Amino acid sequence: MQHPLSWRRWLVVVAVGELVGFAVPAAAGMLASELVASAQLVVMPVAGLFEGAALGYAQVVVLRRSWPTLRGDAWVRATSLAAAVAWFLGMLPSTTHDWWATWPAAWVAVTATILGTALLATIGTAQALAMPPGTPGRLAWVGWTALGWCAGLTAFSLVAPPLWQPGQAAWLLVLIGVAGGLVMALAMAAVTGVGAVRLVERASRTDAGRSFMPGPHLLSAMLGTPVYDASDDELGRVRDLVADLATDTDHPAITHVVIGTGDGRRAVLPYGELKPRSGGGLGLERGPGKAPVSTPGRPALFLRRDVLDAPVVLAAPPGRTRVSDVIVEIGTAGARVIGVDLTPSGIARRFTGRTPTAPPRALPLSQVHLVSAHGHAAQLAAPDPAVLELPADGMAEVLTRLPVAHAREILRAADGRVREDAVRLLHPRVRARVTGTAGPPRRMRRLSGWRLHRPGTHPPVGGRR
């Protein structure tokens, strides 16, 4: 059952979490005060990891009852890393003073503005990226957190620094620091609490309005749709959709739906068992486990796990990019994947939560090759894999951009003539790695991949280029 978010509960719990977390960098700052600037630039961000983890956990404690689709572990990790980055940015001016002290005043002002804006927006941006796909109001949350931290840091600067005086006892310094930290935590929690209440209300309205009605839909907007049983009790939320490449490599049919329950478990149910409800969401006519449930086969793609945000390789035009979204068409007799959206605007749309006026241009799945391990395996296991139907030059382009293990699996499954021609077209360095004649891979192989060795006509290995 979903509960409305209480601003008062947010204020108390989040303020306590921030105060407890702030104790770690405060203690680290006192211990590292005598260290050199470069050491402080390392110690304080590490301490910030603990502050961010405590703050993120406190926020999840309040949010999890009101926002079931939020992944608490991702939220805590994002907040912890963002707090470390914020401490790094905050320590830069003092630890690099000798370097920028001679800059012109205009340069200092511009740099300070950019640095301050980045510092205030760090935690909000990281948390926005950890929200469920399609969450509305992400940009507004970044603004609320920036405003909250601006209020918190201002409150701290008005309380603690004026009270700290040279020669004070250690216990008094600590007491003043605790008072400043408490005022900072309360101010930050009060402001962000207003934004959190509005964010959860918008997310709840969006969840209630989602449905699997006929027509094209974005996968990012379908995830999180509530699922109800015959008694109108919520069973869980849609976590993923499963497409079977055995039905069609271009537009595979949706065969299963992955449901995440409130206790953390997941159930894989046939798509035909779920029906759209008039009030929004999906309805299950039977309870999970009352009838045998089929499992997806080997050429099955879990669209969120294997496709959404996954890197893909294209043969024409040759390149490597990421999937911004997946377009699913719901029909009266079933559902199928129309294709994938590779445009950068898809990422921006998901971040802002805006719904497009028209479905984006979809590229069929057969025209891209998935780099993810499960996606690559599913495409190779499908009948007549599209990558094996490519001409030699197209296959060479794909092999150049895939991990070595994936490229070798494609070569083993490819036709002998096409395989020989494709290998011949590869750059000597790529050819040596793919065919296994380059010896054991170096640990820092990524550093040598900044330059893409395109296929084409090349001299033999060891020759001059």
User: Which domains are seen in the chain, by residue range?
Assistant: 7-208 (no CATH), 217-352 (2.30.30.240), 390-449 (no CATH)
pTM above 0.75, yes or no: no
**Which residue bears the tokens 């406190």?**
58
Q: Which residue has the higher pLDDT, 188 or 273?
A: 188
Q: Which residue has the higher pLDDT, 439 or 377?
A: 377
Q: Which residue has the higher pLDDT, 381 or 458?
A: 381
The 10s digit of each residue's pLDDT in 131-176 is 876 677 888 899 999 999 999 999 988 988 888 787 778 778 788 8
pLDDT band at 3 (very low <50, low <70, confident <90, very high): low
- Which tokens go with 360? 């984006």
Task: Give the residue-averaged pLDDT of 397-408.
Answer: 89
Task: Give the type of residue at 91.
Answer: M
Mean pLDDT score of the chain: 82
Cβ density class 370-407: b for 16+ within 10 Å, e for less:
bbbeebbbbbbebeebbbeebebebbbbbbbbbebebb
Distance, in Å, from the CA atom of 238 to the CA atom of 222, rounded to the nearest integer, reads 7
Report which DSSP code applies to 189: H
Q: Are 302 and 374 in contact (CB under 8 A)?
A: yes
pLDDT at 444 over 60: no
Distance, in Å, from the CA atom of 252 to the CA atom of 193, rounded to the nearest integer, reads 44
pLDDT band at 442 (very low <50, low <70, confident <90, very high): low
pLDDT at 89 over 70: yes
Choose the weakest-confidence range: 212-216, 324-328, 401-405.
212-216
Closest CA to 455 of 413, 402, 417: 402
Q: What is the pLDDT of residue 75?
A: 92
pLDDT at 294 over 60: no
Count of C-beta atoms within a 10 Å radius of residue 93: 14
**Sheet arrangement for strand 311-315:** 318-322, 311-315, 368-370
Q: Are 67 and 262 in contact (CB under 8 A)?
A: no
Closest CA to 351 of 136, 59, 57, 101: 136
pLDDT at 441 over 70: no
Which value, to the nearest 10 degrees, does the dihedral of the CA atoms of residues 279, 281, 284, 288 take?
-140
Distance, in Å, from the CA atom of 272 to the CA atom of 255, rounded to the nearest integer, reads 8
Q: Is the dihedral of CA 229, 231, 235, 238 positive or negative?
A: positive
Q: Count Cα atoms within 13 angstroms, Cβ side, for 424.
A: 8
Burial of residue 137 (CB within 10 Å: 0-12, 13-18, 19+) is buried
Q: What is the pLDDT of residue 359?
A: 67
pLDDT at 206 over 70: no
- Which tokens go with 402? 């895939």
Residues in Cβ contact with 26 at an 8 Å cutoff, skipping those fewer than 6 apart: 177, 181
Closest CA to 227 of 297, 277, 300: 277
pLDDT at 449 over 50: no
pLDDT at 207 over 60: no
**Which residue bears the tokens 């609320």?**
144
Strand-pair category, 282-284 with 226-228: parallel
Cis, bond preceding 4 (omega within 30 deg of 0): no
- When mean pLDDT is compared over 148-152, 267-271, 333-337, the highest value belongs to 148-152
Distance, in Å, from the CA atom of 150 to the CA atom of 293, rounded to the nearest integer, reads 52
Q: Are 354 and 140 in contact (CB under 8 A)?
A: no
